[in-house]
Amino acid sequence: MGCQLGKLASSERRSGEAVLNEGPPPKTDPRLPLTAKQKYSMVASWKGISRAMEKTGICMFIKLFEENEELLHLFEKFRELRTKEAIVSSAELAEHATQVMHTLDEGIKGLADMDSFFAYVRHVGGTHRQVPGFKAENFLKIEQPFLEAAKTTLGDRYTPNIENIYKLTIRFILENLVKGYEDGGNENEIQKQM
């Protein structure tokens, strides 16, 4: 009798699951280039990165400077660092890397509310107008270093599917940083004209 009840309960659970899975997938904001499932995977996977923010950020900046050494001059606090060892052990770089990772963290957490996401990320993009010599396209140079750092941090959890989701997400964030930077310039021009 106990065996029959177990089978009955098990079949009811399975049939209940089938009903739950039949409907259309939940909708995401149409401005977000991710499906609901991709967004869920991004947020779940990001937990692995958020536990190693400083390490991931330093790895990202090392890769950025290896590929774009000319960007070092933009960073007053660590432009004198010439060796990989000096960069790795720089407290200033660790601080900036952590700050950038927190910005990405806020952006990823903000994917649940696109209005807040756009306001936050574009504001951060606009603040970079204050950095002498900074150009909007510098934001885009962080994409590959970010993906490599995420792969290093996540290890085996960085599957081809997760890589695709991270590419979509980082590109979306970077494009909005650029938009914020560009819009910040337009606002400055408007204020000058008044």
pTM for the model: 0.80
- Sketch out the chain's domains with CATH numbers: 37-193 (1.10.490.10)
- Per-residue pLDDT of 148-185, as tens digits, reads 999 999 999 999 999 999 999 999 999 999 999 999 86
The structure tokens listed for 176 are: 């909005």
Question: What DSSP character marks residue 121?
Answer: H
Q: Quote the CA–CA distance of 100 and 135 in Å, as a whole number.
A: 17
* Lowest model confidence (mean pLDDT) among 32-36, 62-66, 124-128: 62-66
Do the Cβ atoms of 182 and 137 come closer than 8 Å?
A: no
